[in-house]
């Protein structure tokens, strides 16, 4: 995900955000001086997945909800630790499959019964058993497209730029380091408190992430 390593992307574990991102703009809200760049969040760096998962769990238990975890590979425990247990993707795929199936069936019905009916061996125009293969294929096709497009939408991809690219050492998220971020738009976020809390998690380094 880092700009200086474009061939490989870190795995991002992110709570779904149903609303567009808005960060606080008040300098006093972040405890930062005027004229400083807007703050995206606070980032902690870890050197192993065990520490990252433990830190994520403590952060979620402390009441923070806008949490992101970044790692070189998927970590199943991390998603659970930050409270990401549900996704809308299965519903999107289901709706896509239903629409694809109905579309495939009624496409054939319109062609065979309404637009260009043919008497084939005395069979009824609406010979629905013959419609099943195409109906099935259309169901799979549209469900597959819905899965891919839904995944991209929920993950906010493609995303050529992200504020975490500005963080020191973040390029290592594609190699051998692990990162945890508390976003500044978290309802509980206060700059001083969040920074001190992150320093208690046993991180190798804690740094600001600027927009």
The residue-averaged pLDDT of 157-175 equals: 92
Q: Quick one: pLDDT at residue 3?
A: 41
The residue-averaged pLDDT of 161-187 equals: 94
CA distance 164 to 185: 15
Which of 49-58, 134-143, 157-166, 185-194 bottoms out in mean pLDDT, i.e. has the lowest? 157-166
Q: What pTM did the predictor assign?
A: 0.70
The residue-averaged pLDDT of 161-186 equals: 94
Res. 134: pLDDT tops 70 = yes
Asked whether the beta carbons of 2 and 170 are under 8 A apart, the reply is: yes
Q: Quick one: pLDDT at residue 102?
A: 98
The runs of H, that is alpha helices, within 23-120 are: 27-30, 49-61, 76-81, 89-109
Asked whether the beta carbons of 154 and 14 are under 8 A apart, the reply is: no
pLDDT in tens, 6-38: 444 556 665 544 333 333 333 444 455 555 679
Res. 164: pLDDT tops 70 = yes
Q: Quick one: pLDDT at residue 27?
A: 40
pLDDT in tens, 54-107: 999 999 999 999 999 999 999 999 999 998 888 999 999 999 999 999 999 999
CA neighbours closer than 13 Å in the CB half-sphere of residue 206? 17
Q: Quick one: pLDDT at residue 153?
A: 95
**Residue 150: other Cβ atoms inside 10 A:** 19
Sheet holding 178-183, edge to edge: 11-14, 67-71, 178-183, 39-46, 205-210
Structure-derived torsion over alpha carbons of residues 101, 105, 107, 111, reported in degrees to the nearest 10: 170
Q: Which two tokens stand for residue 23?
A: 């960060």
Res. 190: pLDDT tops 80 = yes
**Nearest Cα to 70, choosing from 82, 60, 61, 62?**
82
Res. 187: pLDDT tops 90 = yes
Q: Which two tokens stand for residue 201?
A: 């998690």
Q: Quick one: pLDDT at residue 29?
A: 43
The residue-averaged pLDDT of 120-137 equals: 93
Res. 172: pLDDT tops 80 = yes
**Residue 135: other Cβ atoms inside 10 A:** 18
Q: Quick one: pLDDT at residue 21?
A: 34
């Amino acid at each position: 995900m880092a700009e200086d390593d474009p061939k490989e992307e870190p795995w991002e574990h992110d709570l779904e955000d149903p609303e567009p991102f808005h960060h606080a703009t008040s300098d006093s809200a972040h405890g930062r001086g005027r004229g400083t760049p807007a703050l995206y969040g606070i980032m902690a760096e870890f050197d192993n997945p065990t520490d990252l998962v433990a830190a994520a769990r403590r952060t979620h238990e402390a009441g923070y909800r806008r949490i992101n975890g970044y790692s070189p590979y998927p970590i199943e425990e991390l998603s659970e630790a930050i409270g990401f247990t549900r996704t809308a993707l299965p519903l999107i795929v289901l709706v896509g499959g239903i629409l694809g199936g109905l579309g495939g069936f009624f496409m054939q019905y319109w062609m065979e019964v309404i637009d260009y009916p043919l008497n084939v061996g005395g069979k009824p125009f609406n010979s629905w058993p013959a419609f099943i293969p195409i109906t099935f294929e259309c169901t799979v096709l549209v469900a597959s497209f819905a899965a891919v497009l839904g995944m991209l939408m929920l993950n906010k991809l493609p995303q050529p730029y992200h504020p975490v690219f500005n963080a020191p050492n973040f390029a290592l998220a594609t190699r051998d380091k692990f990162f945890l971020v508390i976003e500044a738009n978290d309802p509980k976020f206060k700059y001083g408190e969040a920074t001190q809390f992150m320093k208690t998690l046993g991180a190798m380094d804690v740094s600001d992430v600027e927009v």
